Structure 1
Amino acid sequence: MTRTTIGAMCLLSGIIIGQLIQCRSDQASSAASVSEQSDTTSERRAVDPIRIVSTAEEATIALFENAAPSVVYITTTTVRQDYWSRNVYEIPAGTGSGFIWDDKGNIVTNYHVIQGAYRAKVTLSDQTSWDAEIAGIEPRKDLAVLKIKASSNLKPIPIGTSHDLKVGQSVFAIGNPFGLDQTLTTGVISALGREIESAAQIPIRDVIQTDAAINPGNSGGPLLDISGRLIGVNTAIVSPSGTYAGIGFSVPVDVVNWVVPDLIKFGEVRRPVLGAEFVQQQIIDRMELKGALVMAVAPGSGAENGGLQPTRKSSDGEFIMGDLIIEVNDEPIESNNDLFLTLEKYKPGEQIRLKVKRKQQTANLTITLGSSL
């Protein structure tokens, strides 16, 4: 190989190596540029300032912050005996919600929340827990009162009214669905005047229907109006799955407000009574009668003093049908339940007017109501 050829080859190799070095330098420069851009774009975004977009949102926040300290979380336990060892164990029974009625430690909830419980515990919004005693129960309205001896300051829930509610009003439910405490849901009043069955298998009338989400664990919690006032106690839902389906029911506060004081004072409701016993509804239905048929009248009762006639036998052994009550203060009565629920609107000692069917005629009577206690 000549020197000229070797020189040419060396020159060519130098050119190629130079180009490779330049290419790698360009690639490194490009990578550095990309890295710089990447570093710039990976910086944290600036936080936008919070903006409450409407007075409605502000009102909801204020409502929750004001009402939440009045809502409590209730847990219950029951006891079970081991079949073989005969040892008795305390096991969780259920959870529910409630609210502070007064600063004396009275807590309102549903009867079915504490039904059959061996022990109940109330947890306040500050996460302190207190053993609770049952102060009173009213299965017919699915209401109960628990008593705690809390040392902390208790904030009673504001009380509203339910007789003047309107369909479409905004409502707010606070409770502990599935054990998730202090949960707020919102909705509207979907309907009024509904009827549901209580734990005592007696209808609860004038119930509030709402689409605010109510789930297991919400029972016993408050339903509030836009002012944060109690208008109902969340009690039941309609759902094939047992969870929220858009239909919830609340016992109206007007009922709560006359039941709870009696539960606190007497442990049960002081009901007005006529002082009469009535024929079973199944028999009345078979007789195709509309009303409450009097079977017996208690001696010295308001019914006897007012002239209410019982069912009795004649001298020749034939039954003489007693008075059939068809109206109370001009309100129609078609069944025993109608009579019982209508009487709940009055207090012991008040006078009521009865219209009765007696044989083929009607009679008007004035009765002074007695007390169940």
Structure 2
Amino acid sequence: MRRVKSATIQIATDASLTDIDGTVYAQPGTGSGFIIDESGLAVTNNHVVTGGRSWKVYVGGDDRPLNARVVGVAECSDLAVIDIEGDGFPVLDWYEGDIYPGLSVYAAGYPLNDPEFTLTGGIISKQKAAGQTSWASVDGVIEHDATLNPGSAGGPLVTEDGQVVAVNYANFDLGQPGVSIQYRSIGHTEARAIVDHLREGEDMQSIGINGQAFLDEEEGISGIWVQSVQSGSAADEARIEGGDIIMTLEDRALAVDGTMAEYCDTLRSHDPDDALDIEVVRLATGEILEGQLNGRELKVVETDEDIAASSTATRPTAGAAKEEAAPTDEPTPTSPPPTATSAPQTGGGGGLGAFTLWGSNFWGTLGGGGEQWYTFNSNQETEATVIAFVQNADQIEIIVYLGNDIPVWPPKDANQVPNVGIATKQGNRDGNDKTAEFIWQGPIQRDTKYYVRFINRGGTTATYCV
């Protein structure tokens, strides 16, 4: 296991995303990965690195960051290969045996933006599990009970002798009393076949976007929300922009079930250079555009002011849509791409961040005695849940306020403002006495702004993931 630690990496990404209304958010985040070649080639998840402008890698717990570049990505299979500067790195080998229920495995990585290496143990519980999510459509998925937390994504799932059985990528919660969280990883057979192409610089099942399934049943809009576009890609050359929603691909409606399945099935059934018809809606302007990937650039064919108006009240709710549309035995993702929807806060906190319901995880640090505020809009939701994993500090308070009660931010005296609820501590996460779990859940009003206030009453700096 010392070899596993030495070849497991933490990846820090400096990225941004564009909301459907055209607003650009900073999106820094962290994930995990593992080295497969002494030259510095490493495997991780696509969602860990996609949309990034720069990547810093920490090898084997070293506090010295190394630069890295992305060599190849597979959007639909949620895999990527990066190249770390330098050479002579320790490596991990792929597992050569069969995967079967009961096989002992260990999940390695750097969850919760923690620089300390983490290893959790378990067994394979299901040899073949569903791999449809709002951000990927993965084949060859296995299910196990080795705990994965935000930031574990991209790390290796290894055997007792340190061979890579799978690439960690998600956890799921059925939302049923007495049913435990399910942890899922991409099996070595599927992963290795794709990685062999990616390491040669070949993108697979990709058009050059950071995408997520989007479904708004009230507005009748579904598709792939483009959070960012890779320069020089097929999407870029077609003039797709961040914030666009790709509604159809080859006349096939996308994301009607809240997943990437239809989008990925279409890409997998065509060669990378094929011309593919696309229809795009640009909610910020109300424009509907048509064109082709690897062909005609997008052109406006219609403008709908009602669509433009809806963008101020609509936000991606892929998680909610999937919960409604999926079969009863299909889980709902509780761990979307573990990257921040707002810039991480440091030191004593301060400032005002923002997040979206059913959006990505985000993280931050908060110094002793400090506080940090966030805001979110309820849109069409009538209930919300905020879950925070907090490390190194139990004296945390998380308070939720109705926006109407704070007409001007910051309030002169927040302690005098009535609140709608305070998060309760649910105990220590996975028995780790350094990580406490806080949850607030309650009814909310539609199309209403809310504030969430984090307060560190202790004397040490706390790290949190929400």
TM-score (norm 2): 0.40
Structure with the bigger percentage of helix? 1
- Pair member with larger Rg: 1
Structure with the bigger percentage of strand? 2
More RCO (CA 8 Å, sep 6+): 2
